[in-house]
Structure 1
Amino acid sequence: MANYLYGIGKWAFRKRKTVLFGTVALLILAIALGVGMGSAFSGGMTIPGTKSEKAQQVLSQAFGTTSGGGGTIRLIYKAPENETLETDSVKQLIQSTEKEIATDTGIASITTLYDANTLSPDKRIGFSTVTYKAAADDVSKESIDHALKSIEGANSQGLQTELGGTVALSEVEAGGSSEIVGIAVAFLILVLTLGSFLAAGLPILTAVIALGIGIMLIFVGSHYTEIPSFSLSLAAMLGLAVGIDYGLFIISRYKQNLKDGKEREEAAALANATAGSAVVFAGLTVIIALVGLTVTGIPFLGAMGLAAAVTVFVAVLVSLFCIPALLGCSKNLFKPKTTKNVHPTKQPVKLVPESNLWGRFVTKYPLPVLVVSVLLLGLISLPVLHMHTGLPDNGSKSADMTERRAYDLLAEGFGPGFNGPLIVVAQADSAASDPATAIAEATKGISGLPNVSSVTPPYMNKYGDTAILTLLPKTGPQDAKTSDLVKLIREQAESLKDQYHVELMVTGATAINIDISDTLNQALPKFAGLILLLAFSLLAIVLRSILIPIKAVLGYLLTLTATLGFIVFVVQDGHMASLFGIPEPAPVLNFLPVLVAGILFGLAMDYEVFLVSGMREKFVHDGHPKKAILYGLKSSGKIVLAAGFIMIAVFASFIFADDTIVKSMGLALTFGIVFDAFVVRLTLVPAAMSLLGKSAWYFPKWLDRMLPKIDVEGESFQKTSVLKEEYILKKPKGVHVE
C-alpha cells in the first residue's frame, strides 16, 4: 500500500493545480447537488419488533389509525394571579388567540380549550390542540413561526401561553459560533505543534473541504434512506476532528523528512507513503467501528454510523491527495534556516535525546503510575452502576425554551404523568365468549397498580374485540418508576391472557422510548464483545504481540466505563450540570453507550497503534524494552498529544449546542478522548509495558507465520527508500537505478 501512496503523493505534488482545482470542482458539485435536492432527514427513532410496535400494529388494525397522522401543537395557558381560565377577560383572550392561530391554512383542525374542557382541577391551567395537515416532521417553518407569533398578544396581556406537542419548534444546527471557536483552538494547537501558521492552516482547510463534501453527500443520501436529523452533528464532529488529525500526521512527517535532508517532492511523497499509510489504517479503523453499528440491528443507529463513516472516508481521501498538493504550493514551508560564515566542520553537533521528561517519569515509577491510573478511571466509572437511559424530551430542555415551559405547566396542572401517558391496548381472542366483558374484567385491576394516577374507561372498536385505555402514571416519562410500571403491566398480561383470553399491550410515545432504551441496553454487551474481539485481533496482527493487545483491550474498557460513568455523574446525577449548560438532570441518551463504544474503539485503536508501533520498531532494532518505550513516547507521544487536544477542541465545541442530543454526544466524546489519549495511552500503556518488559513483545512463531503482516506506517518502504538512496550515492558511474 505504501508504494501506491508514495505514487499518489508524488503525482499530487507535481499536478497540484489539477488536484486542487479538481477538489474544488468536486466540492462545488456536491454543494450544488446537496443544496439543490435539500435534505430529507427523519426525526424519529424506531426499532422493529418491539412490544410497543406490535401494540401499534394491533391498534392500527382494530381502529383504522396509525402512529403517524398530522403533527400537533398544544397551546398551554396559565391564568394570571387571582384569576382562572373561566374568567371572562381571560376567556376572551384565549378565544382570540385560537382564532388567530386558526388562520394558518396548514391547519387541519383545532380542538379548543372550552369545547374539549381541557382544564386543570383548579381551572388555572388548560390547553388547546392544533392538528396540522402535514406530519410532525413536515410542518413548515412558516406554520411554526405563525404559532409563535399568535401567542405573543396573550403573553403581553398577562396570560402565560406556551407551545408544546409533537411538532419540533427548534431545529438542530450542525454548525455555529461554538464550532468556529473549536476550529480556532485546533488552529492554535497546530501552530504550536508544527511551528508555522501556514502549515497549521493546511489541515484546517482540507478538513473543512472534506466535511463540506461529506455533509452534502449525506444530504443526498437522506433522500434514499432514512437518516436521523442528529446524524449530521455526529458526522460533523468526527469528520472535522479526524480530518484535522490526518492532515497533521502527514504534514508533521513531511517536516521531519525535510529535516532529514529530503527534497520537497520526495519529502511529500515519502510522508504520504509512511504517515499516509497510518492515515489509511486509522480511517479504516474508525470506518469499521462506525459501520459496525449496523450489526446491532437497530436501523437508526446503523444509519448514524454510515453517515459519519461517509465523512471519515472523504476526510481520508482529501488528506491523501490534497495535503501533498498543498505542500507543493507552499515552497517556503519549513524552509531550513541557513547559518552564514560558519564552516560546516565547525558547526556544533546537537545530540537529540531519545526520551522526554514524561517518559522517564513513567518508566521510573511504572507500578505507582499504573495503580493511580486504574484507580482514577475506576473511581470515575462507579456511577455507571446506576445508569438509567432514555430519550430526552421537552422536560430536559432549557427553561428559556417555550417547549420546556409548556412541559412544566402541564405537569403543574395535570400531574407529571400527563407528559408521558401510556396507551393500553386490550384485545380479546376468539376463545372469549363475551369480549367486552372479558376486556372489562382484565383491565379493571390496572387502576390499582402502583404509580397509577388515573385510567380512562375502555373504549371499544366497532368490532367489539379490542379496546383502548389511556393511563396516566404518577411519575414523569423519564422516571424509572414509569418504566417499572410498563414492565409490571406486561408481566401481569401473561396471567390475564390465560384467565380472561385478553391480551394487554402497552404503547404510546413513552412506552416506545422505554422499549428503544431496553433494546439498546441489550445490544451494548454484544456490540462491546464484538468490538473487543476485533480490537484484540487487529492489534495482535499489527503489533505482533499477545500481551499488548490484552492490555489495550483492558485500557479500552476502562476508557468506555469511565466515559459512561462521567456522563451519568453529570447528565443523570446533575453534578457540574450548570458548567456544561445542562438545564436539568435527565437519563443518559439511550443510544449514547453503544455509539460511544463504537467511536471510542476506532479512536483508541488509532492512538494505540500510533504510539506502540514506533516502540515495536525500536525494540526490534535494539532489543531493549525500556528504550523502546522512551523512544515511542518521545517520537509519537507529541503527535498523539496534539491529535488528542485537537479532537477535544472540536468535540467540546458541540457541548454548548442547544440540542440535548448533540450536547450529550459532544460531552461523551470530549471526555472519552481525555480519558483514552491522556490517561490510558500516554500513561497507563507505557507504565504497563515497563512492568511487562520483554514479555510484552512475546509472540509465538507459529502464529507469526500464520497471520498476515500489516505495515501500518510504511516502515519497510521507508527502509527500502533509504537503502536505495544510499546505493545511488555509492553506485558506480554509468549504472542507472529506478
Structure 2
Amino acid sequence: MATGLRQTAGSAPQRMNRPGRIGAWCYDHRRIVLAAWIIGLLAIAGTASGLGPHFKDNFGGTGQAQQVQDILHEQFPSRSGDSARVVFHSSDPIDDAVTDRITEALNGIRPLPTVISVSPPVRADEGHTAFATIQFDAVSADLAKADVQRVIDTARSYARPGLDVALGGPPISVAVKPKPGPSEAIGIGAAVLIMLVAFGSVVAMGLPIFVALIGVGVGYAMVALISHLLVEPSFGPALMAMIGLGVGIDYALFIVTRYRQALTDGLDPREAVVRSMSTAGRAVLFAGTTVLISLCGLFLVGQPFLDGLAVGTILAVLTVLVATVTLLPALLGFAGRAVDRWHVPGLLRSGTASAERGLWWRWSRVVQRRAVLCGSAALLALLILALPTFAMRLAFSDSGNDPAELTTRQAYDLLSDAFGPGFNGPLVLAAELPGAANDHAVLTGFEQRLAGLPGVARATAPSYNASGDAAVVTVYPTSDPQSADTAALVDRLRNTVVPQATAGTGVRILVGGQTAAGTDESAHLGMRLPWVIGLVILLSFVLLMAVFRSVAIPLKAAAMNLLSIGAAYGAIVVVYQWGWLSSIFGVTRTGPIDPWIPLMMFTITFGLSMDYEVFLLSRIQEEWRRRRDNGAAVAHGIAATGRIITAAAAIMVCVFGSFVIGDPLRTLNVFGLGLAVAILVDATLVRMILVPAIMQLLGKANWWLPRWLDRITPHLAIEQE
C-alpha cells in the first residue's frame, strides 16, 4: 500500500511527518508488527527466564563505613562479610533442656556453606531470650539465596512448641522477601474503569491496556537481563512495572483519543492513524523524551544501585514508548472503525475534539476572571502541602518495617523487647594500632569511655588481629538502626569521642557497620539531590524554550513542577515519617524516608509533569499562533485537553496509589504515595488553576523571547492539526 499522500472523500491530503510515516507503515504492515512484538516478547522473556534474574540489594558504600569494610577485609578476613542474628525465645525461662537445644541448633549452623563462625549465645536478663551472631564469608549482596535459605531452614528446624526461632540481619533479607501484592492488578482494574467511563467503549479501553502490558512485559525481561550487568535492587522490577504501566497507558490513551477524533471528522481508519500519530504521536515522543532526560539525572549520583534503577526505568519507559508508536498503530489497523464496538450503554462518547464553551472552557474562564484570587489560593495550598518537606529525614528503613509474618521482623521485635532496639543494628569500630602493644592501652581507655557514653547499651571487648596492630570493637546503641538518635551517636563517636580518645596518639579508630553505612549513604545522596534537581531543570528549561519560543513558559513550568514535587515530599513526610493518617494508609511504624526515594521521585515526577505541560501548552500555543489572543488561547487549551489530562492523571494516580494499598514493601508504599500525590496535585491545582491564572496575568509576556536568544536557540516543534 502507498505510504505517502492519500486523500479520502471529504478530506484534504495530509502531509506526513516522521511519526505519521511510522504510523502509516505500521498500519500497512500490521501483521508483521504484531508478530514481531509477540516473537520479541517470547524471545527476550525466554532468555531472561533461562538465565534467571540476579537482583542485588547492594546500596554501595561511602565514607568511614567503607573504610572500616576495607580494614576488615585486609586485617580480619573472617569478619569482612556481613553478620546475621539467630534469636531464640522460650515461653518459659531458659533451662538446661532449652540451652541444649540452642546449642544443637548453633552446632547445626556452623558447618553450613558460607558460614564462617557462630558466636556463643548471649542470654537476656529477662531469662526468656537468647541470640547468637552468624558470621558469613561475604557481604549480603554477594551471598547466594540458596545458601542463606539453608541457614534459615536449619535454624528454624529446631523450633518447637514453646521455643520460637527467628533470624534477622542483612544476609537473611537476601532470602526473605515479602510476597508480591496485588498492586499491578489493582492499578490495571482502576485504569479499566476510568477508561470505560472516558471512552465508553471496550475496544478503545482495551488497546492502551494491551499496549502497556506488552511494553511492561518486554521491559521486565530486559530489567532481569541487565541485572547480570548492573546492580539492580530486588524492588527494581516492581518500580519498573509501576512507571511502565502508568506511562504506557497514558501515552496510548492520548493517541487513541486523537484517532477517535479523526474518525469522527470523517477520515478513514488509515488516515486517522496518520493524523493521530502526526499530532498526538509526535507529542508522545517529545513527552517521553523529557521523562528519559529526567531519569538520566540519576547518573550524576555515582552510585551503582541508582545507575541500575535508572537504566531499568529508562528501559521500561523506552519500551512502552516504542510499543505506543509502533504496536498501537498496528492494533488500530486491526480495530478500524470497530474501535467503538462493544460500548457501554450510556457511556459512549463521541470522539469529537470540539470542547468550545464546554465545562473545561467555562472553568478556565472562571479562573481567568479571578486570576489573582485563584492563583493565590492554589499557590498557598501548594506551599502548605510542601512545608513538611523541610522536616524530611533521610535514612534507610530497618527490618522493623517488614511485614509481621517475616522472620526478619520477628527477630527484630524479639531482640528489641529483650535486649533493646540497638541490638538490631550494631556499630562496628575498626582500630589501626601502629604502635601495636603500646596502643592497646589507648584502646582500653576508649572502651571505658564507651561504657558510660549516653546512647551506648553495650560494647564488646576489643578483638585483635594476629599481629596486634588492628582491633575490632562492636558497639550496640540504645536506639534502633533507623533512629535519629543512632545517627547522632555515630556523629558523636566520630567527631567527639574518638578524637578525644586518640588525641596525641597514632591510633586511628573508624566507625562503620551496616547502620553507619546507611548514615554515610544517606548523607551522600542528600548532597547529590540539589545537583540532580539543578541539571534536570536546566535541561528541561532549554527544551521547553526551544519548543515554545518563550522564556516565561519554561520558568513557570520549572516553578510549578517544583511545587508539585514539594507537595509530594510533604505528603510522604506527613504519612510515613510523622504517622498522620497512619490508619488510612496502613502505616504500622513510622520512620525516615529512604534516601534514594526523593531522587527517583523527582526525576520521574518532573518528567511526567512535563508530559502534561507539553500536551496543554502545545494546544495553547496552537491557538495563540492562530488568533494572537492570549486569553482565548489559554481557555481553548484547557478546554481541548482538560478531559483527557484528567483521565490520564486519574489513571496515573490509581496505578501509583495501588502500590500504597497493595504492596507489602514499605519503600514502594512511600514511592507510590509520593508519585500519586504529585500527579494529583499537578493535574488539578497546577494545570487547571495555577497555569491559566499565571498565563492570564502574564498576557503577551508568555510568548516573549529576546531576539538574540531566539537566534541561538534551536527550533523544535510539536505539530498540531
TM-score by length of structure 1 reads 0.88
What is the 5 A alignment of 1:12-411?
Answer: 12-47=26-61, 49-65=62-78, 67-68=80-81, 72=84, 74-80=85-91, 83-86=92-95, 88-91=96-99, 94=102, 102=109, 106=113, 108=115, 111=118, 116-129=120-133, 136=140, 138-140=143-145, 144=149, 147=152, 151=156, 154-155=159-160, 157-165=161-169, 166-168=171-173, 169-171=175-177, 176-334=181-339, 352-353=356-357, 356-411=361-416
How far did 1:162 drift? Answer: 2.6
How far did 1:252 drift? Answer: 0.8
- Once the two structures are superposed, residues 129-172 of structure 1 have per-residue CA deviations (whole angstroms, 9 ceiling, x without a partner) of 556678645444596388459647745x2233333232125336
How far did 1:580 drift? Answer: 1.7
Instruction: Write the letter of the residue equivalent to 1:607.
Output: Y
Partner of 1:723: none
The whole-number CA distance in structure 2 between the counterparts of 1:145 and 1:250 is 52
Partner of 2:4: none
TM-score by length of structure 2 reads 0.90
Identify if the C-alpha distance between structure 1 residues 506 and 142 changes in structure 2 by more than 3 Å, giving closer, same or farther. closer
Identify if the C-alpha distance between structure 1 residues 572 and 272 changes in structure 2 by more than 3 Å, giving closer, same or farther. same
Q: Which runs of 5+ in 1 are unaligned?
A: 338-349, 719-738
Partner of 1:547: 552
The whole-number CA distance in structure 2 between the counterparts of 1:683 and 1:532 is 22
Partner of 2:689: 683
- Once the two structures are superposed, residues 56-75 of structure 1 have per-residue CA deviations (whole angstroms, 9 ceiling, x without a partner) of 11222222346436x74x43
Secondary structure (helix, strand or coil) at the match of 1:161 reads: strand
Of residues 444, 450, 455, the one that matches 1:446 is 450
Partner of 1:522: 527
Segment of structure 1 superposing worse, 448-457 or 268-277:
448-457
Partner of 2:472: 468
Secondary structure (helix, strand or coil) at the match of 1:219 reads: helix
The whole-number CA distance in structure 1 between the counterparts of 2:372 and 2:153 is 62
Instruction: Write the letter of the residue equivalent to 1:697.
Output: W
The answer to whether the Cα contact below 8 Å between 1:442 and 1:500 also exists between their aligned partners in 2 is: no
Segment of structure 1 superposing worse, 531-540 or 663-672:
531-540
Partner of 1:595: 600
* 1:564 aligned onto 2:575: no
The whole-number CA distance in structure 2 between the counterparts of 1:145 and 1:658 is 24
Identify if the C-alpha distance between structure 1 residues 133 and 424 changes in structure 2 by more than 3 Å, giving closer, same or farther. closer
The answer to whether the Cα contact below 8 Å between 1:228 and 1:300 also exists between their aligned partners in 2 is: yes
How far did 1:18 drift? Answer: 0.8
How far did 1:201 drift? Answer: 0.4
Identify if the C-alpha distance between structure 1 residues 501 and 442 changes in structure 2 by more than 3 Å, giving closer, same or farther. farther
Instruction: Write the letter of the residue equivalent to 2:706.
Output: P
How far did 1:24 drift? Answer: 0.5
The answer to whether the Cα contact below 8 Å between 1:496 and 1:502 also exists between their aligned partners in 2 is: no
Instruction: Write the letter of the residue equivalent to 1:478.
Output: Q
* 1:490 aligned onto 2:501: no
The whole-number CA distance in structure 2 between the counterparts of 1:539 and 1:680 is 17
How far did 1:76 drift? Answer: 1.7
- Once the two structures are superposed, residues 358-393 of structure 1 have per-residue CA deviations (whole angstroms, 9 ceiling, x without a partner) of 223222222222122112121122222221111122
How far did 1:121 drift? Answer: 1.7
The answer to whether the Cα contact below 8 Å between 1:207 and 1:243 also exists between their aligned partners in 2 is: yes
Instruction: Write the letter of the residue equivalent to 1:633.
Output: I
The answer to whether the Cα contact below 8 Å between 1:16 and 1:325 also exists between their aligned partners in 2 is: yes
What is the 5 A alignment of 1:498-509?
Answer: 498-509=503-514
- Once the two structures are superposed, residues 55-108 of structure 1 have per-residue CA deviations (whole angstroms, 9 ceiling, x without a partner) of 211222222346436x74x4322222xx3112x454455456667x65996574
The answer to whether the Cα contact below 8 Å between 1:53 and 1:512 also exists between their aligned partners in 2 is: yes
Secondary structure (helix, strand or coil) at the match of 2:130 reads: strand
The answer to whether the Cα contact below 8 Å between 1:132 and 1:139 also exists between their aligned partners in 2 is: no
Partner of 1:436: 440
The answer to whether the Cα contact below 8 Å between 1:294 and 1:303 also exists between their aligned partners in 2 is: no
The whole-number CA distance in structure 1 between the counterparts of 2:517 and 2:440 is 27
The whole-number CA distance in structure 1 between the counterparts of 2:78 and 2:683 is 52
What is the 5 A alignment of 1:572-583?
Answer: 572-583=577-588
Identify if the C-alpha distance between structure 1 residues 501 and 128 changes in structure 2 by more than 3 Å, giving closer, same or farther. closer
Partner of 1:672: 678
Partner of 2:462: 458
The answer to whether the Cα contact below 8 Å between 2:66 and 2:517 also exists between their aligned partners in 1 is: yes
The whole-number CA distance in structure 2 between the counterparts of 1:103 and 1:441 is 34
Segment of structure 1 superposing worse, 448-457 or 191-200:
448-457
Partner of 2:6: none
Secondary structure (helix, strand or coil) at the match of 1:504 reads: strand
Instruction: Write the letter of the residue equivalent to 2:220.
Output: I
Partner of 1:607: 612
How far did 1:445 drift? Answer: 2.9
Identify if the C-alpha distance between structure 1 residues 177 and 158 changes in structure 2 by more than 3 Å, giving closer, same or farther. same
Segment of structure 1 superposing worse, 5-14 or 490-499:
490-499
The whole-number CA distance in structure 2 between the counterparts of 1:161 and 1:443 is 32
The whole-number CA distance in structure 1 between the counterparts of 2:239 and 2:25 is 33
Secondary structure (helix, strand or coil) at the match of 1:589 reads: coil
Partner of 1:340: none
How far did 1:190 drift? Answer: 1.6
The answer to whether the Cα contact below 8 Å between 1:286 and 1:599 also exists between their aligned partners in 2 is: yes
The whole-number CA distance in structure 1 between the counterparts of 2:16 and 2:177 is 45
The whole-number CA distance in structure 1 between the counterparts of 2:466 and 2:256 is 72
- Once the two structures are superposed, residues 255-306 of structure 1 have per-residue CA deviations (whole angstroms, 9 ceiling, x without a partner) of 1111222221011012112111111111111111112201112221121011
What is the 5 A alignment of 1:647-726?
Answer: 647-655=652-660, 656-712=662-718, 714-715=719-720, 718=721
Segment of structure 1 superposing worse, 57-66 or 299-308:
57-66
Q: How large is the Cα RMSD of the aligned pairs?
A: 2.7
Instruction: Write the letter of the residue equivalent to 1:412.
Output: D
- Once the two structures are superposed, residues 200-231 of structure 1 have per-residue CA deviations (whole angstroms, 9 ceiling, x without a partner) of 10111011111111111111111122222211
State which structure, 1 or 2, has the greater radius of gyration over its C-alpha atoms: 1
Instruction: Write the letter of the residue equivalent to 1:210.
Output: G
The answer to whether the Cα contact below 8 Å between 2:124 and 2:130 also exists between their aligned partners in 1 is: yes
The whole-number CA distance in structure 2 between the counterparts of 1:461 and 1:106 is 24
The answer to whether the Cα contact below 8 Å between 1:104 and 1:143 also exists between their aligned partners in 2 is: no
